[in-house]
């Protein structure tokens, strides 16, 4: 979808202002989001503190208990921080956390029709880095929190607003830090909603599917290091650090990891079987068996990288480094692998598999980012609340417990026993989800409005017995 000419767009013409009682949530969200995009928080280095302050000021302005929580600076000039707020419930049930993140990935303005950090608003949308991932999520959470705070009756549960720094580089200094050092901010939280799932619609805006992410694949990132004798490359020996590395990488490139269907993935495909093309329906209903016994189905299924990634460990060779000079043999060459493991698997085991594959003792395999993911159950009040609201907002739309190939900060909270779902109520066709980490990231004002109203309904539905 082409964007209109830049002249049709403008940053929101008003300064930041706390959304008013009775104000249209779409317009209020667009105004706050425009302002949030104009506060750059590209990570590294992040510099999320001014944005944390903007959100906390708005919460306080509306009378909500809120604080800026400083986190490790890690070289950022502006400082790094999380925004935290809490609307107290009547205490009869345990709290729910609305989790989002303040940092973004970079944006190269060259690929954009509209400058990525101006918070442009026009043609019914807000454009800019973070509009979807995840400043747009923070803003919907903020508006929702304000709406709950302004109710005459408290809900059963406290609603905790939490927007963290550092998600895009793994969250160790953001959600990871808060969970380790500031756990009391979560009180006794039972439930959590964050990014990583939402409502998929066809390009025509039809047949919505509500996807609630219950678990994720886990990263297992590693360095592959080869050594050799440095020297002049005019008289190179047959084996050098670089040739050793290339041999190792060639073996890794050919590695075929086994296909395995974890129960969460089997359930996910089962629950969308009735929407699948006729030829895939039987296979989706019993994925493990079909992948083993139906060669045509297996070929079709595995030819789609997005699907194949859900039934096997994957490994991509990303960083490559040898000499920095044409005529110098380096003493060391290294590569990095981005491996992604199925839920429940351990990086240490996969590192052993990589070592066996390389079969060269002189090569070092050094993991540097790894965690194991667990799953959240679906037999919970939060899943039922989402189902109830889905049946009202999108009658007939299935609510699918999903597994995603990427990862979010949800695992930090699942590890504490909190039921954490990746679910943001917004209706996106595939063309718009490509804006995540890509050019022309945008969200419609209609989505911001409907998202806020829907999230409020979900929180209210949690009170039903």
Bridge partners, 333 (sequence order): 226
In what helix (H) or strand (E) does residue 27 lie, and over which residues does it extend?
Answer: helix 25-37
CB of 263 to Zn ion, least distance (A): 26
339 part of the interface to Zn ion, by CB under 5 A: no
List, in order, residues 6 or more apart from 419 with CB less than 8 Å away. Answer: 190, 191, 192, 376, 377, 380, 382
Binding mask 21-50 vs Zn ion (x if CB under 5 A, - otherwise)?
A: ------------------------------
Range in contact with Zn ion (rule: CB under 5 A) among 33-41, 126-134, 233-241, 392-400: 126-134
- Give the CA distances from residue 181 to residues 64, 101, 177, 369, in Å, rounded to whole numbers and listed in that order: 23, 18, 6, 20
Using CB under 5 A, count the residues that bind Zn ion. Answer: 3
Contact 214, 386 (CB under 8 A): no
CB of 207 to Zn ion, least distance (A): 26
CB of 123 to Zn ion, least distance (A): 24
134 part of the interface to Zn ion, by CB under 5 A: yes
By CB under 5 A, the residues from 180 to 199 that bind Zn ion are: 195
By CB under 5 A, the residues from 405 to 444 that bind Zn ion are: none
Contact 220, 335 (CB under 8 A): no
166 part of the interface to Zn ion, by CB under 5 A: no
| Cα separation, 180 vs 170, whole angstroms | 15
- CB nearer to Zn ion: give 117 or 269: 117
134-137, long-range: CB within 8 Å, 24+ apart, which pairs? 134/100, 134/101, 134/102, 134/104, 134/167, 134/195, 135/33, 135/36, 135/37, 135/51, 135/100, 135/102, 135/104, 136/29, 136/33, 136/426, 136/443, 136/448, 137/100, 137/194, 137/195, 137/424
CB of 8 to Zn ion, least distance (A): 28
Measured CA angle at 49 (ends 48, 53), to 5 deg: 120
- CB nearer to Zn ion: give 127 or 131: 131
CB of 158 to Zn ion, least distance (A): 24
Residue 433: half-sphere exposure toward Cβ, Cα within 13 Å: 15
CB atoms within 10 A of CB 263: 12
Binding mask 195-234 vs Zn ion (x if CB under 5 A, - otherwise)?
A: x---------------------------------------
- CB nearer to Zn ion: give 133 or 156: 133
Range in contact with Zn ion (rule: CB under 5 A) among 79-87, 107-115, 133-141, 452-460: 133-141
| Cα separation, 187 vs 332, whole angstroms | 49
Q: Six-digit token pair at 458?
A: 């979900």
103 part of the interface to Zn ion, by CB under 5 A: no
φ and ψ of 373, to 5 deg: -100, 145
Range in contact with Zn ion (rule: CB under 5 A) among 84-92, 132-140, 224-232, 359-367: 132-140
- CB nearer to Zn ion: give 133 or 264: 133
- CB nearer to Zn ion: give 408 or 457: 408
CB of 81 to Zn ion, least distance (A): 17
- CB nearer to Zn ion: give 200 or 457: 200
| Cα separation, 41 vs 106, whole angstroms | 9
CB of 426 to Zn ion, least distance (A): 13
What 3-state DSSP class applies to 206? coil
DSSP assignment of 72-120 equals --TT-SS-EEEEEEEE---SSS--EEEEEE--B----GGG-SS-TTS-E
133 part of the interface to Zn ion, by CB under 5 A: yes
- CB nearer to Zn ion: give 106 or 417: 106
The rounded Cα 102 to chain-centroid distance in angstroms is 12
- CB nearer to Zn ion: give 134 or 342: 134
CB of 421 to Zn ion, least distance (A): 15
- CB nearer to Zn ion: give 129 or 449: 129
CB of 316 to Zn ion, least distance (A): 20
- CB nearer to Zn ion: give 310 or 424: 424
CB of 167 to Zn ion, least distance (A): 5
Residue with tokens 């990570």: 43
Q: Please report, as ranges, the residues that interact with Zn ion according to CB under 5 A.
A: 133-134, 195
């Amino acid at each position: 979808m082409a964007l209109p000419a830049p002249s049709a767009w403008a940053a929101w013409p008003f300064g930041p202002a706390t959304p008013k009682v009775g104000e249209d949530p779409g317009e209020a969200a667009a105004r706050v989001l425009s302002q949030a995009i104009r506060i750059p928080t590209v990570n590294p280095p992040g510099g999320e503190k001014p944005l944390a302050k903007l959100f906390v000021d708005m919460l306080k302005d509306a009378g909500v208990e809120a604080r800026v929580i400083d986190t490790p600076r890690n070289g950022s000039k502006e400082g790094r921080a999380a925004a935290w707020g809490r609307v107290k419930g009547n205490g009869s049930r345990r709290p729910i956390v609305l989790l989002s993140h303040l940092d973004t990935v970079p944006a190269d303005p060259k690929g954009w029709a509209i400058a990525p950090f101006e918070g442009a608003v026009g043609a019914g949308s807000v454009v800019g880095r973070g509009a979807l991932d995840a400043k747009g999520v923070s803003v919907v959470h903020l508006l929702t929190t304000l709406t709950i705070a302004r109710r005459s009756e408290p809900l059963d549960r406290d609603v905790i607003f939490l927007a963290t720094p550092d998600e895009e580089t793994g969250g160790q200094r953001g959600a990871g830090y808060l969970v380790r050092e500031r756990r009391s901010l979560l009180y006794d939280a039972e439930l959590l909603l964050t990014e990583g799932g939402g409502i998929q619609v066809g390009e025509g805006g039809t047949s919505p599917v509500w996807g609630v992410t219950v678990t994720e694949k886990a990263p297992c990132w590693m360095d592959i290091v080869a050594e050799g004798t440095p020297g002049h490359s005019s008289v190179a020996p047959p084996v050098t650090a670089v040739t050793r590395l290339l041999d190792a990488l060639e073996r890794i490139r050919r590695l075929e990891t086994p296909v395995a269907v974890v129960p969460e993935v089997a359930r996910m495909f089962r629950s969308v079987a009735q929407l699948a093309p006729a030829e895939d329906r039987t296979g989706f209903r019993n994925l493990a068996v079909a992948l083993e016994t139906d060669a045509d189905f297996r070929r079709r299924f595995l030819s789609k990288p997005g699907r194949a990634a859900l039934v096997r460990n994957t490994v991509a060779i990303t960083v490559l480094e040898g000499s920095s000079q044409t005529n110098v043999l380096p003493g060391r060459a290294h590569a990095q692998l981005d491996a992604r493991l199925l839920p429940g698997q351990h990086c240490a085991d996969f590192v052993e598999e990589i070592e066996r594959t390389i079969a060269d003792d002189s090569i070092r395999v050094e993991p540097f980012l790894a965690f194991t993911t667990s799953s959240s159950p679906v037999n919970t009040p939060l899943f039922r609340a989402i189902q109830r609201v889905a049946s009202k907002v999108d009658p007939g739309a299935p609510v699918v417990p999903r597994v995603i190939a990427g990862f979010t900060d949800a695992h930090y909270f699942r590890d504490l026993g909190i039921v954490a779902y990746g679910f943001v109520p917004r209706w996106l066709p595939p063309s718009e989800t490509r804006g995540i980490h890509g050019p022309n990231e945008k969200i419609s004002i209609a989505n911001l409005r409907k998202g806020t109203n829907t999230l409020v309904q979900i929180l209210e539905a949690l009170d039903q017995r």
